[in-house]
Structure 1
């Protein structure tokens, strides 16, 4: 039962209290690759940024001709308006798409559980009945802490309604993705902040004081002294997080904490690839220009021309 999964998540959340807040709460967009971005020593960063980390590994097994053939097909997909050029916007969108594959895989995993009538959409009632079903009919009487589950239901419904942009109580795939991964969508920003405040605000005054902030990440055992990182967090609270110095974190300050502005790595990579391959400097690149620099986009490190090259390589 999916409700049992929710219970497990609650247990994991309790266990996570030992983790420093900046690791548990802050939603960072990771870099596109763990490799150094230094073209003088190879293009592995660009390969992983353009293809995604896992897909880049499959290209490592291809011959140069195979890499070029697959790259040509990818370029046709990136050129969404089919005008013969890849613009910065199209390349940026493609790189973001490749980096979000892990999110799409997570959505794929859950989709079939909730789309009961298989119409390609998930209604709120489908989600609610699948997740809470039996317990709803009994008003959560069979659950030890029914108020907790009522709160979970209200929170899920609020998040679902926010993700449901057209307000029809039916989530498209994109809307359901926003429901499961709200930190990835600007229009879900307020929900992420509100849920964070609710998680930490124990006295219900709608803001976070220093004790609640520290208590969210550290609960000392009897006689245990605070470790150095907790002292550092106290300092961060007063000097950085509490911008207006009123002793509390309000919604705006929480937003700056958990959803900080940061570098758009996909945007920078798109600019870099265009700069390096745009020979006529018209700020867009053709398939010819891309294929002339195929090693930067996909490369080829094929060393095993036996079994590896006879495997079937799925189209991206």
Structure 2
């Protein structure tokens, strides 16, 4: 008999507490509005982090740049363009490559150096591609670059004034022969890179045009060409035998003999460098890794070739006199100028 009375009292008490809680809540909200009117809003956590990073960057920019790399990178430019003495360029680089300072460059030191130059060049190419693309894409700014836009940028970069750029004829009468030849070379490279539209390049095609060694689409194309040439059974993979038994382009007997002599080396290369999962076949992914210029095997191949051609006393090391004796070889190599060497290769 007492339970209904108890529930009634409890219900009344609950309703009273609810009214009191509502009054307190309204009061707190009003006081909060008054406080917010006088105190600026606290920035979000994301905004605080952004501000801290901005402050840190500003402080970093105020510090003087003591890195010696800027002067050194300028030294690595083509001596013919910068006026640097080739002997000086090679001497400075020799001292940098010679890590243990024993006046000899070992194969390990040379591989390490060339690999670092390759990685730096490709990373730099990827960073600057979008910046230059945005700069060239100006008339109109539509996310595509026409040959006329790029040609304007090219002529301006080579020191020609706006009057000449706007009024020049197609044959570029009056320009020095070297620039004319460069323009023709650029036009051919443009045609190869413009896959979606022959008149325009998108940002990826622009990378393939200026730095094909840094373009994923170029590397994919090379893989497809490799499969098309050597995949005899058409299963989109390469076997060791297919890779090792390269087909001669001509019918000359001495070419076939050279291919047979290198078969053992190509088999070893396939097993150690290409077929990473050791299943006897190389698929597209394995071939992509193998062809990618960032693969350290390219630095090793370059270093071994340089040592083989320049090591006159056959001690397995390179001395400064040996390098200076093969000056043209080293000036065109990735040891000195990775960008120029890549562009010559491609």
Q: Could you tell me the TM-score, scaled by structure 2's length?
A: 0.29
Structure with greater helix share of residues: 2
Q: Which has the higher contact order (CA 8 A, sep 6+)?
A: 1
TM-score by length of 1: 0.31
Greater C-alpha radius of gyration: 2
